[in-house]
């Protein structure tokens, strides 16, 4: 532990950061998440918990670079109608409400693994609501399917969510190892999550759909495509108020045959660059520089002023991460996280089932109290070091470290499903639905979120390799 004064001041600074990060509209200081993270970071320096040089060193540039690049790539994928095709799959040859629930779970999970969970929730919420309406069904099960499955699916890859970005770069686990280490847990988790939804909402999902509305199902989904406006894919990680409500676009003029050919070639180019980026990551290339290269390649191939694209990137999110890195580093300097881990470490070793269970509970609680990214920053290195110390054999020690990182990725991500406030993806879905006249209440989410989170987390832990 540091000195008493340092501990008190550091705790105050981190507490201010945490309150403003979790509750960005607190009445006494409604300045938002980004300003709240900067305030927490500044207080760490003003209180002399860390020095200015330590504050600058705490900012992780590879993570910021990877986050920036994935946002740029997501913007171009949206322009290339990737998410329009995903939405069509939701209603293509549908066989009823239960089939739709399963489709929402599968599509949101797989797309979240490669395009981030927040992006998928921003884009697909409207389509999910329209499909539920056309089948004369309540929206709650479909909204829950979208949000919870997006979180579960994003756990499978290093680029699925921000905490996985942190874990992948700090642990130096290869993309392919990360994917195959978590993929079995993710696949089983999606199946279990879908089954739980179907069981909980069996009666309403068994109701007959409205015949008249069903005949216009495909038309409405196509109509919904025109409502997607170009928006920032990750803005809602900064705050829900940043999510842009889709507005109906003006009817585009008919394109000539030459213009259609150019558009087709450009769309093919976007998909090709994205696939090459994923393959390069899969082969073990540096993820940060690979993503940046792909983003710049798309900007160059677009062959026009990149300012409109770059303006959609959530720079406030990047600033939020900078402040968070500094605030978390300052809190680490107080010695409180280390003391807490020293107390829990003997009971949290991953070579025993009971140890894995205790570790999972610690991560689950901290992820909901302090949010998942700060939890990863606070505990990541300590958990990996503890796992590595189990064996003196280098190969076994390395395997234990990798497993510890993957457990941290799995539990901290699925923990977001516990409550409505546990994940930005949940809040995005809730806010998007509210703007269209639907209300996913905190308690309705909690009734499903608690059993789903506990069961999916427990089953997934047995499958982490």
Q: What is the pLDDT of residues 222-251, one digit of tens each?
A: 444 444 444 444 444 444 344 333 444 444
Over residues 419-429, mean pLDDT: 77
With pLDDT > 90 as the criterion, what percentage of the chain qualifies? Answer: 29
Two structure tokens written together for 369: 């109290």
Two structure tokens written together for 328: 């978390």
Q: Check: CB of residue 340 under 8 Å from CB of residue 370.
A: no
pLDDT the model gives residue 462: 92
How many angstroms separate the Cα of 210 from the Cα of each of 138, 216, 436? 13, 10, 21
Two structure tokens written together for 223: 């109509």
pLDDT the model gives residue 34: 85
Q: Which of 252-261, 272-281, 443-452 has the lowest mean pLDDT?
A: 252-261
Q: Can you tell me whether residue 205 is helix, strand or coil?
A: helix
pLDDT the model gives residue 245: 38
**pTM of full prediction above 0.85:** no
Q: Can you tell me whether residue 203 is helix, strand or coil?
A: helix
Q: What is the pLDDT of residues 98-119, one digit of tens each?
A: 888 898 999 999 989 987 887 7
Torsion angles phi and psi, residue 59, rounded to 5: -70, 120
Q: What is the pLDDT of residues 304-354, one digit of tens each?
A: 888 888 888 878 878 888 998 899 889 888 988 888 888 888 888 888 899
Using a 10 angstrom Cβ sphere, with 0-12 exposed, 13-18 middle and 19 or more buried, the burial of residue 66 is: buried
Grade residue 258 by pLDDT with cuts at 50, 70 and 90.
low
pLDDT the model gives residue 13: 93
In the block, tokens 């994940």 appear at 423
Using a 10 angstrom Cβ sphere, with 0-12 exposed, 13-18 middle and 19 or more buried, the burial of residue 118 is: buried
Q: Check: CB of residue 408 under 8 Å from CB of residue 392.
A: no
Rounded distance, CA 436 to CA 432, Å? 7
Q: What is the mean pLDDT of the chain?
A: 81
Q: Check: CB of residue 206 under 8 Å from CB of residue 97.
A: yes
Torsion of CA 291, 295, 297, 299, to 10 degrees: -170
Q: Which of 150-164, 180-194, 250-264, 297-311 has the lowest mean pLDDT?
A: 250-264
Pick from 383, 374, 244: which is nearest to 321 by CA? 374
Rounded distance, CA 376 to CA 171, Å? 11
pLDDT the model gives residue 184: 94
Rounded distance, CA 192 to CA 273, Å? 34
Asked whether the predicted pLDDT for residue 40 surpasses 90, the reply is yes
How many angstroms separate the Cα of 83 from the Cα of each of 107, 134, 190? 10, 20, 20
Q: What is the pLDDT of residues 197-230, one digit of tens each?
A: 999 988 877 764 444 344 344 434 444 444 444 4
Grade residue 256 by pLDDT with cuts at 50, 70 and 90.
low
Cβ partners under 8 Å of residue 348, min gap 6: 355, 358, 359, 362, 383, 386
Torsion of CA 13, 371, 446, 151, to 10 degrees: 160
Q: Check: CB of residue 312 under 8 Å from CB of residue 75.
A: yes
pLDDT the model gives residue 433: 82
Give Dmax (Cα) for the chain.
73
Q: What angle do CA 424, 428, 433 make, to 5 degrees?
A: 150
The DSSP-derived string for 375-418 is: HHHHHHHHHHHHHHTT-SSHHHHHHHHHHHHHHHHHHHHHGGGS
Cβ partners under 8 Å of residue 178, min gap 6: 157, 158, 164, 168, 406, 409
pLDDT the model gives residue 318: 86
pLDDT the model gives residue 214: 43
The residue ranking higher by pLDDT, 142 or 431, is 142
């Amino acid at each position: 532990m540091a000195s008493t004064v340092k501990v008190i001041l550091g705790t105050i600074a981190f507490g201010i950061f945490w309150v403003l990060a979790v509750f960005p509209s607190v009445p006494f200081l409604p300045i938002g998440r980004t300003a709240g993270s900067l305030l927490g970071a500044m207080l760490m320096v003003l209180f002399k918990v860390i020095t200015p040089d330590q504050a600058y060193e705490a900012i992780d540039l590879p993570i910021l670079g990877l986050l920036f690049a994935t946002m740029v790539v997501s913007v171009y994928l949206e322009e290339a109608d990737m998410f329009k095709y995903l939405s069509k799959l939701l209603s293509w040859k549908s066989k009823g409400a239960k089939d739709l629930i399963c489709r929402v779970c599968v599509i949101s999970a797989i797309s979240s693994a490669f395009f981030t969970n927040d992006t998928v929730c921003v884009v697909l919420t409207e389509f999910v609501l329209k499909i539920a309406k056309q089948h004369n069904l309540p929206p709650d099960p479909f909204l829950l399917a979208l949000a919870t499955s997006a979180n579960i699916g994003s756990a499978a890859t290093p680029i699925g969510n921000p905490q996985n970005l942190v874990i992948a770069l700090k642990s130096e686990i290869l993309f392919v190892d990360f994917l195959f280490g978590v993929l079995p847990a993710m696949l089983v988790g999606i199946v279990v999550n879908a089954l739980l939804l179907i069981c909980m909402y069996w009666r309403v999902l068994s109701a007959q759909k409205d015949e008249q509305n069903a005949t216009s199902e495909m038309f409405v989904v196509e109509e919904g495509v025109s409502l997607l406006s170009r928006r920032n894919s990750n803005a809602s990680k900064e705050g829900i108020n940043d999510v842009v409500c889709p507005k109906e676009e003006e009817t585009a003029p008919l394109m000539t045959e030459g213009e259609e050919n150019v558009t087709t070639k450009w769309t093919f180019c976007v998909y090709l660059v994205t696939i090459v980026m994923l393959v390069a990551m899969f082969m073990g290339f540096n993820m940060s520089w690979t993503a940046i290269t792909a983003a710049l390649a798309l900007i160059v191939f677009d062959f026009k002023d990149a300012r409109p694209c770059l303006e959609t990137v959530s720079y406030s999110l990047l600033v939020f991460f900078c402040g968070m890195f500094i605030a978390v580093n300052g809190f680490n300097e107080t010695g409180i996280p280390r003391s807490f881990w020293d107390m829990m470490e003997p009971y949290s070793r991953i070579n025993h089932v009971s140890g894995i269970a205790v570790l999972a509970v610690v991560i689950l609680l901290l992820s909901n109290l302090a949010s998942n990214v700060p939890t990863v920053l606070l505990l990541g290195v300590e958990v990996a070091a503890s796992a590595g110390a189990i064996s003196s054999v280098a190969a076994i020690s390395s395997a234990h470290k990798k497993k510890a990182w993957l457990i941290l990725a799995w539990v901290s991500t699925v923990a977001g499903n516990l409550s409505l406030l546990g994940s930005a993806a949940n809040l995005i879905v809730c806010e998007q639905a509210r703007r269209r006249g639907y209300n996913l209440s905190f308690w309705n989410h909690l009734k499903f979120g608690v059993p789903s989170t506990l069961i999916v987390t427990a089953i997934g832990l047995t499958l982490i390799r």
